[in-house]
Copies of this chain bind each other. A is one copy, B any other.
């Protein structure tokens, strides 16, 4: 994990420890909490056009940023209790996608394959 993500993970560990919330922070519960926060993030975009979503006003962007913060916190906490390094896991998946989605074959097409997935 990066120094800064590791720093977040440590703060979250301490946050849970002093409140005696480790008992609630099972991977199962944290995955649900992550899903709940992603639901709130998606809700920020649901009625925006594609173009509007590229240029949110300051108020909407502030709410999106808050939700992105929440999602990051639960993601880092979940990875931490599972002992997974998020950056390594993401790099491995991106290496895989680089091989899977040949640039020439998939250029400009969302039909043949989901971009980056």
Chain A positions within 8 Å of B, measured between CB atoms, are 2-5, 8, 11-12, 15-16, 18-21, 23-29, 31-51, 53-54, 56, 61, 64-66, 68-79, 81-82, 84, 86-87, 89-94, 97-98, 101, 103, 106-108, 110, 114-117
Contact = CB atoms under 8 A, between A and B. Distances in A.
19 contacts: A4-B4, A4-B5, A5-B5, A12-B116, A15-B94, A18-B107, A19-B101, A19-B103, A19-B107, A21-B110, A28-B53, A31-B41, A33-B117, A37-B117, A47-B110, A49-B50, A65-B84, A66-B89, A73-B93
A14 to B, nearest CB: 10
Chain copies in the assembly?
4
Contacts of A76: 90
B53 A72 contact: no
Contact of A36 (B42, B74, B81): B42
Contact of A68 (B42, B66, B84, B115): B84
A108 B19 contact: yes
A29 to B, nearest CB: 6
